[in-house]
Amino acid sequence: MDKYIYAKQKEVILKMTTPAVNAWTEFQPLKKVILGAPFPPETFDWHKDEETRNVMRTIFKETEEDINELEKILVARGIEVLRPTNIFTITGEEQIQLPWMSCGFPNHPLMPRDTLMPYGNSVFECFTGGDNRYFENLAYYDHMVELYKQGADWISMPGAMVRGGIGYDTYSAEQKVLFHAANMIKCGDTILFSQAWEEDNKKGKGTLLGKEWMKREITQRYPGTRFLDISTGGHADGKIALLKPGVLMTWNASWVPEEMKDWTIIEVEDDHEMPQDFVETRKRRYYKEYVEKWLSHWVGYADESVFDVNVLSLDEKTVICTGRNDAAFAEMEANGIEPIVWRFRHQYFWDGGIHCLTSDLVREGDRENYID
């Protein structure tokens, strides 16, 4: 029997025995996960420029192929995979008009890690603040309903008002409850938080009020949870990866909280210089600008999967990475961890790694103390 078909049959049995949500760490054995999806290949067929249409179709199609291959890898290892059921797009350059806001081209549902934070038997649904991400979680709504019916807690962050047009800045930061779920890393009874800046939501991927909301909601349901700060902003999973108890990987050891300095730290040297076109493009995240000004620069560069600490641990002995890094791989193997390379051809275009593409709903094991 085909290995993939056999794994899908096992998946049916797993659904009857697996809890709806049980997520305490980044490294306990993974059993159920949400895996994102790109825009369909035809999404930009409305664009007037033929070259742009063809390039976008190629990027979306190849991304779809890569994600489907990742799904096969996960399913073959007995992991139940949930995919987005509602992919919200618009045709052309029109804006979505609501009584209190205007929304530009909606964001893709490729990165559930940004907006969903499973912890314990709960899923905390975050609001990231960008007008183009306002409807993003609709892609996972059907799954959230089913998880709730099966007994999981579903806690949704209040959606911020983005009044008066496109942008983050209509309301002052101290009035906004905004936070990216990717700012948090689970480690048993401890959660690592990256920094948030009250005056700059974009820089910190959240506001201080959003960070406080997360802490308060988590503590109410899971008393005794400890919170440790990472000494940098942005998405925490792009800075530190917890590979197994006592072993972590990072670009910069100074970011690691003092309470975890006694862990084995695999400090990775970033030996890949991002082309200047990418550096400039990453500052301007609207698809219209990608399409009309920068897109031609991505093709050719983005065909390589570059190694990133943004990895997905399947268990304490196995981790999936994008790209190779021989030095990092040697240290992983020395610590009993097998790295698996998965090809993500347009990693730069989507500005995220494999951890971003997933949200782990169920991992075997209980809440433990891994730090003291």
Q: In Å, what is the CA distance from 181 to each residue of 12, 104, 115, 186?
A: 29, 22, 5, 11
Report the range of poorest mean pLDDT among 204-208, 260-264, 368-372.
Answer: 204-208
pLDDT for position 204: 47
Q: Which has more pLDDT, 11 or 108?
A: 108
- Asked, for residue 372, whether it belongs to a domain, the answer is no
Between residues 254 and 305, the one the model is more confident about: 254
Instruction: Please count the structural domains in the chain.
Output: 1
Residues 302-344 have pLDDT tens digits of 555 678 899 999 999 999 999 889 999 999 999 999 999 999 9
Residue 270 has pLDDT above 60, yes or no: yes
Distance, CA of 112 to chain centre:
5
Q: Is it the case that residue 96 has pLDDT exceeding 80?
A: no
Of 164 and 187, the structure prediction assigns the larger pLDDT to 187
| Whole-number pLDDT of residue 304 | 54
Q: Which helix (H) or strand (E) holds 74?
A: helix 50-76
The predicted model gives 121-146 an average pLDDT of 87
SS (H, E, C) 35-50: ECCCCCCCCCCCCCCH
Backbone angles phi, psi at 344, to 5 degrees: -125, 90
pLDDT over 80 at 36, yes or no: yes
Specify the DSSP class assigned to residue 156: E
Q: Is residue 370 part of a domain?
A: no
Mean pLDDT of 16-44: 90
More confident residue, 9 or 245: 245
Going by pLDDT thresholds of 50, 70 and 90, the confidence category of residue 216 is very high
Confidence at 201, pLDDT banded by 50, 70, 90: very low
Q: How confident is the model at residue 25, as a pLDDT?
A: 98
Give a yes or no: residue 102 inside a domain: yes
Q: Give residue 360's pLDDT.
A: 97
Q: Which of 126-130, 266-270, 366-370 is least confident? A: 126-130
What does the pLDDT average to over 221-228? 96
**pLDDT the model gives residue 276:** 65
Region 62-88 average pLDDT: 94
| pLDDT of res. 205 | 74
The whole domain housing 140 covers: 3-363
Residue 139 lies in a domain: yes
Does residue 25 form part of some domain?
Answer: yes
**Residue 96: which H helix or E strand, with range?**
strand 96-98
Least confident piece of the model among 7-11, 139-143, 252-256, 319-323: 7-11
pTM of the model: 0.86
CATH number of the CATH domain containing 358: 3.75.10.10
Q: Does residue 331 form part of some domain?
A: yes
Question: For residue 61, what are the CA distances in angstroms to 68, 126, 136, 230, 287?
Answer: 11, 28, 20, 36, 17
Q: Which two tokens stand for residue 215?
A: 């802490």
The answer to the question of residue 371 being in a domain is no
3-state secondary structure of 105: coil
Q: Is the pLDDT of residue 196 over 50?
A: yes
- Tell me if 233 is assigned to some domain: yes
Q: How confident is the model at residue 289 (pLDDT cuts 50, 70, 90)?
A: low
Instruction: At 19, list the tokens.
Output: 């809890």
pLDDT confidence of residue 119: 98
pLDDT of residue 100: 57
d(C-alpha 146, C-alpha 67), whole Å: 23
State residue 258's pLDDT score.
95
The answer on pLDDT for 296 being more than 90 is no
Write the pLDDT tens digit of every residue in 152-169.
Answer: 999 998 866 555 444 444
